[in-house]
Amino acid sequence: MLTSKEPGIIVWNQFRSHNSNKLPDLSGANLKGANLSSANLSSIILCGANLQGAFLRYTNFMNANLEGANLSQASTYDACFIKANLSQANLRCIKGYSSSGRNSHITNFEYANLTCADFESANLEQANLKNANVTDAIFVNTKLEFAQLNGVKLYLALDLRGASISILE
């Protein structure tokens, strides 16, 4: 597996910074269990990709297309999904929050398309879901304590049974 300090991620990020106009299409890629920590996957096409159990800390998915991707059981804390398309994605049991000492590590889904996404049993404590589209999304038994939900129309979500939601006052 690659880590952010291994040559593979460094080479990938250098390629992306020098070829920002090239948008790789990795639709259907099998990246199950991969360590893609700190990878620049912004604007990339990962439709239907398998990222089950992947380690995605600090990974940049801004504007990426992950429609129908499998991210179940992935560690997504500190990952950026701003304006990403995660419609019909499997996000069951993702680990979107971690607390170590005084630091909290959250997942950022601001303005993301989460239509029909499945977050069953996911940990999204303190996650940023500002203005995300959650139409028909499933949040069964999802931890949403202190999540940033400004502009989110939770009433459009398909299922919130057993979800724990707390709001800061």
pLDDT one-digit tens code per residue, 108-119? 999 999 999 999
**pTM score, two decimals?**
0.86
For each of the domains in the chain, give its residue range(s) and CATH number, in order of start.
55-169 (2.160.20.80)
Sequence-distant (≥ 6) Cβ neighbours of residue 13 within 8 angstroms:
38, 39, 40
Number of CB atoms found within 10 A of residue 99's CB: 12
105 pLDDT band, cuts 50/70/90, is low
Residue 128 DSSP SS3: strand
* pLDDT, tens digit (0-9, with 9 covering 90-100), for 31-53: 999 999 999 999 999 999 999 99
Single-letter amino acid, residue 41: L
Nearest alpha-carbon partner for 105 in 130, 131, 80, 140 = 80
Question: Is the per-residue pLDDT at 126 higher than 50?
Answer: yes
